[in-house]
Amino acid sequence: MKPIRRITPLLLLAAALLGAAPAAPRPVEAPVPHAAWSWPLEPRPAVAHPFDPPERPWLSGHRGVDLAASAGTTVGAPAPGTVVFVGWVVDRPVVTIDHGDGLRSSFEPVDSPLAVGVEVEKEAPLGTLGSADAGHCAPAACLHWGVRRGDEYVDPLQFIEDRRPSVLLPWAGPP
């Protein structure tokens, strides 16, 4: 812990009499925010099922979001990163990207031609959404998108940069 440096009026007076200016306190560097992510599907998809984590890590819950889409839809990288997994988990194809800063995102069911170690740019195609029977939204198709920070699942939507402009709607006044 750094000591607190105070510049008191007495110290300023002493510095002025001696002809020296006291050193200004160094600014505290703010952490660089993680760049905003884009939606992994275009156009912007409807959220079929929101993030709903369990109260305890070992309990059941929904550790990601489900985005409505049709089978065969192209799935893009929401942020740059490195492909760290492409393969099957239980009964569906999964792609996982390491975005750095402890963040990893996974997408399922996604049929992908990519190999582990491939660097992807933001919005680069990862593959295509698999059939409805390969996902947990059956009979409808959806993309399950999960994000982990270390071992903790977090809401993927918190990273999205919403590109729609703000619009003021007419107000009819109080009811």
> Residue 25 pLDDT > 90, yes or no?
no
Alpha-carbon gap, residue 124 to 114, rounded angstroms: 11
Give the chain's domain count: 1
Backbone φ and ψ for 58, nearest 5 degrees, come out as: -90, -5
159 CB-near residues (< 8 Å, 6+ apart): 34, 36, 37, 78, 79, 147
Structure tokens, 54: 């369990």
pLDDT at 109: 94
- The torsion angles phi and psi of 49, rounded to 5 degrees, stand at -150, 120
Structural domain containing residue 93: 47-159
Q: Is-above-0.75 flag for pTM?
A: no
Residue 122 within any structural domain of the chain: yes
User: 17 in a domain, yes or no?
Assistant: no
Q: How confident is the model at residue 21 (pLDDT cuts 50, 70, 90)?
A: very low
Q: Is residue 26 part of a domain?
A: no
**Nearest alpha carbon to residue 26 among 59, 2, 51:** 2
Residue 66 lies in a domain: yes
- Tens-place pLDDT, residues 11-20: 444 445 555 4
Chain position carrying tokens 């996982």: 96
Q: Report if residue 146 sits inside a domain.
A: yes
Residue 12 inside a domain? The answer is no
Q: Which two tokens stand for residue 83?
A: 């492909």
**pLDDT tier at 159, thresholds 50, 70, 90:** very high
Contact 59, 113 (CB under 8 A): no
Mean pLDDT of the chain: 80
We report the CATH number of the domain holding residue 69 as 2.70.70.10
Tokens of 6: 């105070």
Listed in sequence order, the residues at least 6 apart from 155 whose beta carbon sits closer than 8 Å to its beta carbon are: 50, 51, 65, 147
Residue 15 lies in a domain: no
